[in-house]
Amino acid sequence: MEQRQDRAPSYLRVQQGVTIWLSHAVQGAIVRLARAYFPLEVGGLLLGWRDDRERIVTGLVGPGPGALHGRSAFVPDHAWQVAQLHQAFSASGGDLDYLGDWHSHPAGVAQLSPVDRTTLARIARRVPDPIMVIAAGSGHDWTLGSWSGKRAVLWRPAVIEERSLRPFSAPSEWSSFGLDQG
């Protein structure tokens, strides 16, 4: 006898959240840059690839030479970052893509500010399930936090959810970019 499986329409099913895999090399580069710019904020782009609900981060782009750094704000050199993103895409044969942003909270906490939430929601309008990583701390003591965003749909506002980071050692043959920054 055939079993009937009732399934809700796809738009009503709860999907599992995004898993963020962050290479040890990227984590190290983020912390090096955060220390170098302390007590000012710094940030950039996260590069890697998507595999269904997984985000595998193996590269990054820093702030750029024209970036503005303050104690509680950071404005990237957008034109420089876009050029770096195109360079990473070409150098990797199309393997690396933009996944989201990262930045520091010097002497702060690894939590999203209201501006961070708005930024991630805005990124989610253009990028499927983007991620954001925040490095908070000072000296040698830094903590990383991570979030994913889901775009607003009709009556539902954008959804921003905290995610756990899963550090890993990327094989040397995997595409990476920008790990010598900092």
Residue 8 domain-assigned? no
Reported confidence tier of residue 181, pLDDT bands at 50, 70, 90: low
Number of domains in the chain: 1
Does 147 fall in a domain?
Answer: yes
Residue 74: inside a domain, yes or no? yes
| Confidence check: pLDDT of 175 > 60 | yes
Q: Is residue 111 part of a domain?
A: yes
Confidence (pLDDT) at 176: 86
Tokens read off for 108:
């702060």
Average pLDDT on 9-35 reads 80
- Tens of pLDDT, residue by residue over 65-85, are 999 999 999 999 999 999 999
Give me the mean pLDDT over the 18-28 stretch. Answer: 95
Mean pLDDT of 155-165: 90
**Does 72 reside within a domain?**
yes
**Domain CATH number, residue 56:** 3.40.140.10
Is residue 126, in this structure, part of any structural domain at all?
A: yes
- Report yes or no on 13 lying in a domain: no
Q: Find the mean pLDDT for residues 56-61.
A: 96
In a domain, 94, yes or no: yes
83-115 confidence digits (pLDDT tens):
999 999 999 999 999 999 999 999 999 999 999
| Boundaries of domain holding 39 | 19-168
